[in-house]
Chain A
Amino acid sequence: MSYTITCPVCGKRDLYEFRFGNEERGPAPKQDGLTLEEFNDQVQMHTAIGGPQEEWWCHRDGCGVWFRTWRDTVTGREVEKPEAAS
């Protein structure tokens, strides 16, 4: 695991300074009236796509910020946000 991640505050840094915070899935659904299926979808059923994916990362050994970035899960590398995703 040798690639780099770009922190919005500190810039490009080694991966091992960061903590992975899962793929971007939007805010948790409202708990009032939440069904088991919805809950399961949010917590367990990740997309796990091969290719560019938006993810959360925390600059744990740096400024501590949580931020979103795009990464290609096949190569492991950070990528530009794909145009189709805009």
Chain B
Amino acid sequence: MKRLAARPTNKIDRSTPLSFTWAGRKMTGMAGDSVATALFANEVKIVSRSLKYHRPRGLYSLDGESSNTLVNINGEPNCRAETVLLQEGMKVEPQNTAFDAEFDPMGFMDYMDGQMEAGFYYKKFHKPAALWPFFQNRIREAAGVGRADTHPHYHEHDFQELYPNAEVVVIGGGPAGMSAALSAAEAGCRVVLFEGRPNLGGFYDWRTREYDGEELTKRGSGLVSKVNSNKSIRVLANAFVMNVNGDNLVTGFQIGTGSDPFIQRYIEIRPESVIVATGCIERALVCENNERPGVMQAGCALRLVRQYGLKPGEKAVYSIADDLGIESALGLAEAGIDVLAVADARTEGADPELTAALEEAGIAYYDGWAASAIKGSKLVKGVTLATLDGTLDTDFDCDLVVASAGQTPLTGPLSTVNAKLAFDLHTGFFLPQEMPPRVHAAGRLLGLTDPKAIEASGRLAGLKAAAENGAETDIEKAEGELEGLPGPARGCLLAHGPNIGLGRKAFICFDEDGTYKTAKQSADQSFDVPELAKRFGGFGLGPSQGGIPNHNLPLILAEIRGDGPESLKPTTVRAPIVPPLIQTVAGPGHDIFKRTPMEAEQLAQGGLLRRVGVWKRARYFSEDLTCAEEISAVRNGVGMIDVSTLGKFKLFGPDAQKALQRCYISDMSKIPEGKLKYSAMLNDDGCIVDDGVITQVGPNEYYLTASTGRAGGTIEWFRYHTRYEGWDFHMVNLTDGLAAINLAGPKSRDVLAKVTEADLATEAFPYMGYREIEVGDGVPVKAMRLGFVGELSYELHFPASYGAYVWNLLAEAGAEFDIRPFGLEAQFVCRLEKGHVIIGQETEQRVNLRDLGMSFLWAKNDTESGKIGAPALRFTAEAENRFKLIGFTMNDGEPTPGDGSVIFRGDDIKGFVCSARYSRTLEKSIGMAIVREELSAPGQKIRIYQNDRNNPLNMGAVVTPAPFYDPEGLKLKS
């Protein structure tokens, strides 16, 4: 299509042609075109096929308000062609077409409407039930939208995040939004301005009408340059707000243009104040075939002419309901399009200046008329206009019908932030009645139509926002100014075109092919309010989420019910108001984890890292996932494991001991010098939340360890449970500051002796002893003789910066003893053989300290310190048939059950396997389980059930007291 002569309002750069393909055909657009306008310029009138009926659909709005122009761009389905700027080399494909948008063999579906009445998918194909899966697949195939690319080729920076700081967020870059942003910024606020279109301006961008001797486009460009040159305003173009949440959390996203490094980016701001200046969209005129390609909104037709230099058609007929519609007709006539007639649903209230201009241009003006039916089987061929009561009608041959029932406000952000909206009979809008704190509305969505009033309302909102941020502003003056200007204009309450009942398909919802008839069928089955009809009939559930139907459906249902429009209630709008790509919300997917100080050394030795909580840790040191060699080294020689992830804390202060007494279940008042105390922390229910060792390192000063998973929550826990007392104690989290290695095995003393001068003999450094020693070239080490894996072992804590040094030092010293590193899995097996519990593996919320067989830790007579969990232990002392932690041995020939397998008797579940492994040391499968007390006696036979990938196993085992290995603990103490 040849473009119209250039005008100042053009948004296209005629000197930069861009080539792209549509369904494989080569086409050319211009820089500044959206994909939709570029297709239109190439005479592509049918862009997609509708969901149910496979009816042809084409360009209708220019803001992505319906699914009409959903296309696949470069493999990405469901792109809104109107909101994506054309780029060189784009591959654009139609979707939901069986063959081609132009010739779709599924088009016969249009005659199947008798089979697809409201709620048909709740009723049909369900009997017999066995047929449903078949029909479900057929329906999904026929009614799909885009096809997802299952092998997307995204780059790291395609989806980004932006968290700007601002005092004020303005949603909408039209005259009201720009005025609001300017007045807030001039009063000293930082402002972020969201605009969904590529450029600011709103209506000012294409309206050439004069107000006060100035063309609106001129006024607009003045405002735009003021906004763009104001350094306190950050303009985000092509950016949509998804949600305005409580306490003004604004989330949105921005679509990248060719020059941006991202495809989309997520935006999150928490401003003090939010100004909603989203303006209006056009309410669709519901009449027969009101979505034929060739029917479009008044604003769309005018913008095609003014901004893109495109002729929307050759012969046009208008059916509109506001002055903007008449302006559009005049604009088209001025561009040389033959406007045959303008039907105006209003009988009064039209601007006499505009109707006079129509007369002057020789365009017939029918007031009190509207389109009743649109003709043409594929594209528009003509239209019938009729009086609103349907008594008179007349036909026109044309290829363009501009149909609109007036304006309707975009209240999405107001709705998500819980502003109270009520239907206003004067404007026909849902207007805000009560605003949440620090949220303001401005502009056309308040029903204002006078450009000066729209600007003034923006300025007022901007000043209010500035005042909330501490600026001194003259709000009263701004209020006075607004009051002196024209208020909201009367709106049109027309629910649908004349003679609506006579036709076959008048669309309320384009996305889901919801027609007037569907609404009537819904109402007849008593789904007669929008919330019900929406779900039963399928209105507004599609991609546009009610963009088009939300405004007509309530009016039409009220009419069907026989209620007046005063019965209209706002419906709930849910985020996202405008849908982003799922990738945008998912974000770039950074895997954030902590590395231990010895990670490089372990990798070099073949360590296979796995995610453990916030850390990555070596789980294995070979491809042998049973870790035979690692375990053998620990049991027979010496091994070393990186345990730097353990929680490590310093606790000090005059009241430190009181805090310990409160949080640990044991008596912490007497920890002999140089000794470690093992104890547990319980919650109020008496369930164990953590275990660890504590030692006193000085007067009122303690060093304690926590398990890896609890490292982050330990200080919080101490503070919470001492919050009323105001005790004087402090805690320092040394977890990341200290590295730790557990040197374990019968030869561990020999290895350690080579790198320290400290006396390691059992008499000098016994089991559960704590010593501060020096290792190598004077590395200060907190050494603890512990035995988690059941062997002689030394846990060495030292500054993290020495991590690699100490690791290598021990590796060299241990070379003659064939030392080898071992990972978490080997440690897991060794401690299981020893019957040592892991919190979270052998414990759960129904199991208290006594059930675990660990009540020896409990200082029973202490009621003074307020030990957490102690009352629960007292009150459950007599409880019967609680869960108990047991050890078990699998019967000969049985496989090893998976962790979590069920333990049952008869039809009842009696417990579960906490952990189970084959033990090479013991040459049998062993495990620990939590079972009902009735099954916990030693020698009791138990049955374990596991269904692993449809391979059900019913296994036998016998309860065996743990520890399985070295029950007397001789090795630990050797």
Contacts and interface: CB of A to CB of B under 8 A. Distances in A.
B720 A58 contact: yes
18 contacts: A2-B249, A3-B249, A4-B247, A4-B270, A14-B249, A21-B723, A27-B725, A30-B863, A30-B866, A31-B863, A31-B867, A34-B871, A39-B872, A43-B872, A65-B719, A66-B716, A76-B246, A77-B246
Given A31-B870, A58-B716, A60-B716, A3 B247 contact: yes
A21 B720 contact: yes
A28 B246 contact: no
A24 B652 CA distance: 28
A49 interface: no
B655 to A, nearest CB: 15
Contacts of B872: 39, 43
Contacts of B715: 64
A2 B719 CA distance: 26
Given A2-B249, A32-B864, A77-B247, A66 B270 contact: no
A2 B871 contact: no
Nearest to B725: A27
B866 A64 contact: no
B245 A66 contact: no
B684 interface: yes
Interface in A11-49: 14, 19, 21, 26-28, 30-32, 34, 36, 39, 43
A2 B716 contact: no
Given A30-B863, A76-B246, A64 B270 contact: no
Of the listed residues A19, A28, A30, the one surrounded by the most CB atoms of chain B closer than 10 A to its CB is: A28
Contacts of A28: 866
A32 B864 CA distance: 7
B122 interface: no
Interface in B236-271: 245-247, 249, 270
B246 A19 contact: no
Contacts of B724: 26-27
B875 interface: yes
A3 B685 CA distance: 31
A4 B271 CA distance: 12
A14 B270 contact: yes
A19 B723 CA distance: 14
Contacts of A76: 246
B720 A31 contact: no
Contacts of B725: 27
Given A36-B875, A39-B875, A66 B720 contact: yes
Q: Which 10 A-B pairs have the closest CB atoms?
A: A2-B245, A2-B249, A31-B863, A27-B724, A32-B863, A3-B246, A3-B247, A43-B684, A4-B247, A2-B246
A53 to B, nearest CB: 17
B270 A58 contact: no
Interface residues of A, number: 25
B819 to A, nearest CB: 40
A27 B724 CA distance: 6
Contact of B723 (A34, A36, A56, A60): A56
A4 B870 CA distance: 36
A27 B245 CA distance: 35
Contacts of A32: 863-864
Interface residues of B, number: 22
Nearest to B723: A66
A62 to B, nearest CB: 12
Nearest to B716: A58
A76 B723 CA distance: 24
A78 to B, nearest CB: 8
Contacts of B270: 4, 14
A3 B270 CA distance: 10
B247 A64 contact: no
A26 B724 CA distance: 8
Contacts of B870: 31
A31 B249 CA distance: 45
Contacts of B720: 21, 56, 58, 66
B871 A19 contact: no
Contacts of B719: 58, 64-66
A57 to B, nearest CB: 11
A16 to B, nearest CB: 10
Nearest to B245: A2
A28 B720 CA distance: 12
Interface string B859-892: 0000110110011100100000000000000000
Contacts of B246: 2-3, 75-77
B659 to A, nearest CB: 13
A42 B875 CA distance: 14
A4 to B, nearest CB: 5
Contacts of A30: 863, 866
Interface in B40-96: none
A43 B871 CA distance: 11
Interface in B847-869: 863-864, 866-867
A4 B863 CA distance: 39
A19 B864 contact: no
Of the listed residues A14, A66, A77, the one surrounded by the most CB atoms of chain B closer than 10 A to its CB is: A66
Given A58-B720, A60-B716, A66-B723, A39 B871 contact: yes
Contacts of A65: 719
Contacts of B871: 31, 34, 39
Contacts of A4: 247, 270
A77 B719 CA distance: 25
Contacts of B247: 2-4, 77
A56 B721 CA distance: 12
A82 B875 CA distance: 38
Of the listed residues A2, A4, A27, A28, the one surrounded by the most CB atoms of chain B closer than 10 A to its CB is: A2
A75 B875 CA distance: 38
Nearest to A67: B723
A28 B247 CA distance: 34
Interface string B617-644: 0000000000000000000000000000
Contacts of B716: 19, 58, 60, 64, 66
Nearest to A43: B684
A31 B866 contact: yes
Contacts of B685: 43
Interface in B684-717: 684-685, 715-716
Contacts of B249: 2-3, 14
A60 B715 CA distance: 10
A2 B270 CA distance: 10
Contacts of A75: 246
Contacts of A21: 720, 723
Of the listed residues B245, B866, B867, B872, the one surrounded by the most CB atoms of chain A closer than 10 A to its CB is: B866
Interface string A53-86: 0001010100011100000000111000000000
Contacts of A60: 716
Contacts of B245: 2
Nearest to B721: A28
A11 to B, nearest CB: 13
Given A43-B684, A64-B716, 6 more contacts: A2-B249, A21-B723, A27-B724, A27-B725, A56-B723, A66-B719
A20 B723 CA distance: 14
Nearest to A75: B246
Contacts of A43: 684-685, 872
A64 B684 CA distance: 22
B99 to A, nearest CB: 46
Interface string B719-737: 1100111000000000000
A2 B684 CA distance: 30
A55 to B, nearest CB: 12
A29 B118 CA distance: 62
B269 to A, nearest CB: 11
A31 B864 CA distance: 7
A42 B457 CA distance: 54
A14 B685 CA distance: 31
Nearest to B868: A28
A4 B248 CA distance: 9
Contacts of A14: 249, 270
